[in-house]
Homo-oligomer: A and B are copies of this chain.
Amino acid sequence: MLLVQKFGGSSVATLDHMERVADKIRSVRAAGDQVVVVVSAMGDRTDELVNLAVQANPAMPAREMDVLMATGEVQSTALLAMVLQRTGITAQSFTGREAGILTDSHHRRARILAVDPARLRAALADGITPVVAGFQGVDEGGAVTTLGRGGSDLTAIALAGALKADRCEIYSDVAGVFTADPRIVPSAVPLDHLSYDEMVELASQGAQVLQTRAVEYARTNKVVIHARSTFAEDAPGTLIVEKNQDNPPVTAVALATKVAKIGLVGVPDAPGVAAHLFSRLAEHGIDVDLVIQSLSHQKLNDIAFTVHLDDLPKAEPIAREVLVELKGSALIVDTDIAKVSAVGSGMLGRPGVAARVFLALADAGVNIQMIGTSEIKISCIVAAADAKRSLLAIHQAFGLAPLNSGSR
């Protein structure tokens, strides 16, 4: 069997942590399996480098940032390879370049264009355990690039795809994907498995176990992901696969708190008004999430939409410009909100699920401000103060806690 094992920054934060990682790798090798290891930078190293860079040049020029940031992962690979060698495992470090990760030239958020795992294959054939620097690649001109947030997951999944590995194990300090964030919903339980589609929705709705891009890459390249805990040895973790055979109406719930709502009050109820507003926002690279337009019987209308909180400083002036152009009466900005989402592959073709979500919130006394849906997701904007209660109510209503669900 060939495995790819990825260990995040908290798993390699210190040399003691690396010893435990080495134990895991040794047990895989002892079982006769092959493994390619992918590591992040140690603990806070990345933050330390960013702090230095901000002082050196607040504009943080992207090409040099990538040169700087990529050193953190390289240090992890060399140190882990040394630890492995000391414990009798023939290991060798590989940079992203050496591992064959070819990307485009968008520094700090490069996309993987191709993976040429020839050198890794040769190492495996020689009985060597490769330790690969995550988060980084190289563009066609030979410049070092980095893959953006969650980039090490992406490295691991891309290598698993290229090497046709049996599984890509993503180790972190949580024991897999939960039915809800256990810090908010104490009764949340880890899921045995879920589908790529569900994981993509959960990741993009605020669950932080895996990054959306990495899961999308796995879906496209049919890489089986196993999300596991580095430190909870017995936890079985979560498999992310093509189809969730259980097909539950709601598999898990997620909470996003970095959300802002912008409302334009009293704009003309005429064709093209919404199109104008949203194309202006798109021109500035701002993703609009939920949208609501009041059903008006008069000539004037209200439009509200949500954006990520980080985009608010760019979005607000654009909305105000459009408001003035359209002679609207007021702009309302609300950051005191949250987005609660329920995700489940069984939602598809079962029209009653949305109603059960709304009922659960109503029973909990929560007012729903906006609603958004996809085929396997229902999102509701609620007041920030209601967020936790909303999450608990949906989690409870769909029997996600073990006491209620029995056979989950």
Chain A interface (Cβ < 8 Å from any Cβ of B): 15, 18, 49, 52-53, 55-61, 63-65, 67-68, 71, 74-75, 77-83, 85-86, 92-93, 98, 142
Contact = CB atoms under 8 A, between A and B. Distances in A.
Contacts of A59: 85-86
A15 B51 CA distance: 11
A74 B77 contact: no
B86 A65 contact: no
Contacts of A53: 78-79, 82
Contacts of A142: 98
Given A82-B56, A85-B57, A142-B98, A49 B75 contact: yes
B56 A18 contact: yes
Given A61-B85, A74-B71, A79 B52 contact: yes
Contacts of A64: 78-79, 81-82, 85, 92-93
A67 B56 contact: no
A11 to B, nearest CB: 15
12 contacts: A52-B79, A57-B86, A59-B86, A61-B81, A61-B82, A61-B85, A64-B85, A67-B77, A67-B78, A68-B78, A68-B79, A98-B142
A15 to B, nearest CB: 5
A3 to B, nearest CB: 22
A288 to B, nearest CB: 34
Contacts of A71: 71, 74-75, 78
Most chain B CB neighbours (cut-off 10 Å) among A49, A59, A79, A98: A79
Give how many copies assemble into the complex. Answer: 2
Contacts of A15: 52, 55-56
B57 A82 contact: yes
A15 B82 CA distance: 31
A332 to B, nearest CB: 40
A52 to B, nearest CB: 6
Nearest to A22: B56
Contacts of A81: 61, 64, 67
A98 B58 CA distance: 26
A87 to B, nearest CB: 9
A78 B65 contact: yes
A101 to B, nearest CB: 15
A397 to B, nearest CB: 51
Contacts of A58: 86
A5 B53 CA distance: 23
Contacts of A77: 67
Nearest to A86: B57
A236 to B, nearest CB: 31
Contacts of A52: 15, 79
Contacts of A74: 67-68, 71
B79 A63 contact: no
Given A64-B78, A67-B81, 16 more contacts: A18-B56, A57-B82, A60-B82, A61-B81, A61-B85, A64-B82, A64-B85, A64-B92, A65-B78, A67-B74, A67-B78, A68-B75, A68-B82, A71-B74, A71-B75, A98-B142
Most chain B CB neighbours (cut-off 10 Å) among A56, A71, A98: A56
A21 to B, nearest CB: 12
A85 B59 CA distance: 9
Contacts of A98: 142
